[in-house]
Amino acid sequence: MAWRLLSLATNCAYPAMVVLSESMSPAFERGDVIFLSNWKEQVEVGDIPAMWFEDYRLPMVHRAIHLTSDDGSQSILTKGDNNDRTDEALYPLGQTYVYREQVIGLVRGYVPYVGWITLAAQEIPWFKPLLAVGILVFSVFPGLRPK
């Protein structure tokens, strides 16, 4: 319910995401949680759009560095702050720009490090069982909880 309300308030199906790579360092780092909204009609140079292409498993979040407009439709060229090249090779085949319709939101802020819990749960095989045991122990033995 809270996620749905946050989605409605931000006009974004995914109002929060964990950063998975270092491509936007130093703006934000791997393991940071970014917050998105999708209320702006037009992207501006310097904005950081989150784009999700059809048939791609994950979104891409990189800075807008060049814009064009044709017939009211906006095209955006992006690049990761920590990357040497623009993102054209990462776009769907035959596409040289991102279309505004492919932008699911713009980064509005972030919280450092909070996403490391999610990354650990995905990347360290023993993390989930250890977390489950910890929760079980504190549930069964409430006297062990910090006061």
Can you list the domains of the chain with their CATH numbers? 2-114 (2.10.109.10), 115-147 (no CATH)
Contacts with 73 (C-beta within 8 Å, 6 or more apart), sequence order: 99, 100, 101
| Separation in Å, CA 84 to CA 39, 48, 55, 81, 93 | 30, 17, 26, 8, 20
| Catalytic (active site) residue 87 | yes
| Separation CA 59–CA 32 (nearest Å) | 15
Mean pLDDT of the chain: 94
pLDDT tens digits along 60-113? 999 999 999 988 789 999 999 999 999 999 999 999 999 999 999 999 999 999
The active-site residue out of 21, 62, 70, 139 is 62
pLDDT tens digits along 15-69? 999 999 999 999 999 999 999 999 999 999 999 999 999 999 999 999 999 999 9
The burial class, CB within 10 Å (0-12 / 13-18 / 19+), for 46 is: exposed
pLDDT of residue 97: 97
The active-site residue out of 7, 71, 75, 87 is 87
pLDDT of residue 137: 86
Q: Residues of the chain with pLDDT > 70: what percent?
A: 98
pLDDT of residue 15: 97
The active-site residue out of 7, 23, 32, 55 is 23
| Separation CA 123–CA 142 (nearest Å) | 30
pLDDT of residue 131: 86
| Catalytic (active site) residue 23 | yes
pLDDT at 139 over 90: no
| Catalytic (active site) residue 66 | no
pLDDT of residue 143: 74
